Amino acid sequence: MSQTVDRALSILPLLAEGPADLGQVADRLGVHKSTALRLLRTLHEHGLVHRQADQRYRLGARLFALAQEAVENLDIREIAHPYLVDLNEKCGHTVHLAVYEENEVLYIDKVESRYPVRMYSRIGKPVAITVAAVAKLILADLPEGERRALAEKLDYPMYTARSIPNAAAFLKELATVREQGWATDLGGHEESINCVAAPIRGADGRVIAAMSVSAPNVVVTAEELLTLLPLVRRTADAISREYSGGAPARDTPAPHTRAPHTPAHKAP
């Protein structure tokens, strides 16, 4: 580990507490002022710290830009894929990954069942939004107003007798899902197929994707499938953690809990 870099990086959390002048920084680092000055200058050139009018230093907005760019380039599919494969190897069933985009829920990854009987679905295809377990999870996390507006606007095709029939029933189901943190689809799309699903959350606690395990009745009963729920949830949580940049040990809340101090606007 590099001492110089270590010292420089230690300045950042220090400044996060509030602006500080050169002397304060040097003191808290335990180094000579000239050393602190040099480190601060380097941080400054990279835009990580900003010098305000009174010559004190504070964190730079560039930090924010950096974080934002990183979030934008995060590919949930790439991160999740190995976990999906792993889950498939453990349970043998079809595993799906879905995201929300423009009022639709889309499958973006899939690992096929190892059983001969497979269900039909296609990556990139919009899911049956009113019945699919992954859709329920994602929509349940939308802001109240948006959720309601969307629910009213949707069609409720009766794929089977167990399909959700109307907006009221759908909203009620979403409330349940939101409460319990997981979802199922028991024959709501195709008579003989059941799914269990769990949400994947970003660092701010919002649901950014959902994953599910699906299997036809002829292979496992709904009850048997439900026994996989803990595993599915654990996997989803692991993906959430990885997506959020790892378990930062200390002061960041667990990825699957709602951050208490979530800011007004959220990263996409």
Partner DNA sequence: AATGGCCGTTGCAGATGTTGCAATGAATGC
Partner DNA sequence: GCATTCATTGCAACATCTGCAACGGCCATT
Interaction residues for a second copy, span 9-68 (CB under 8 A): 9-10, 12-13, 15-19, 38-39, 41-48, 50-54, 58-68
Distance CA 241, CA 239 (A): 5
In whole angstroms, give the CA distance from residue 204 to residue 87: 25
Question: Does position 7 bind DNA by CB under 7 A?
Answer: yes
Least gap, CB of 31 to a second copy (angstroms): 12
The token pair at 92 is 């043998």
Number of Cβ atoms within 10 Å of the Cβ of 89:
11
Identify what 144 binds: a second copy, DNA, none; CB under 5 to 8 Å per kind. Answer: none
Query: Residue 33 or 118: which CB sits closer to DNA?
Result: 33
Q: What's the closest the beta carbon of residue 102 comes to a second copy, in angstroms?
A: 5
CA-based R_g, the chain, Å:
24
Which one of 36-44, 127-135, 163-171, 187-195 is the stretch in contact with DNA (CB under 7 A)? 36-44
Neighbours of 106 (CB within 10 A): 18
Q: From residue 54 to residue 93, what is the string marking binding to DNA with x (rule CB under 7 A)?
A: -xx-------------------------------------
Answer with the entry of a second copy, DNA, none that 37 interacts with (C-beta below 5 to 8 A by kind).
Answer: DNA
Distance CA 86, CA 117 (A): 20
* DSSP-derived pairing of the beta strands 193-201 and 104-111: unpaired
- How far apart, in Å, are the Cα atoms of 30 and each of 17, 240, 251? 17, 38, 24
Shortest distance (Å) from residue 99 CB to DNA: 22
Angstrom CA distances, 72 to 75, 77, 174, stand at: 8, 13, 28
Partner touching 109 among a second copy, DNA, none, CB below 5 to 8 Å by kind: a second copy
Judged by beta carbon, residue 161 or residue 249, the one nearer a second copy is 249
Among 55, 72, 161, 223, which residue sits at the site for a second copy (rule: CB under 8 A)? 72
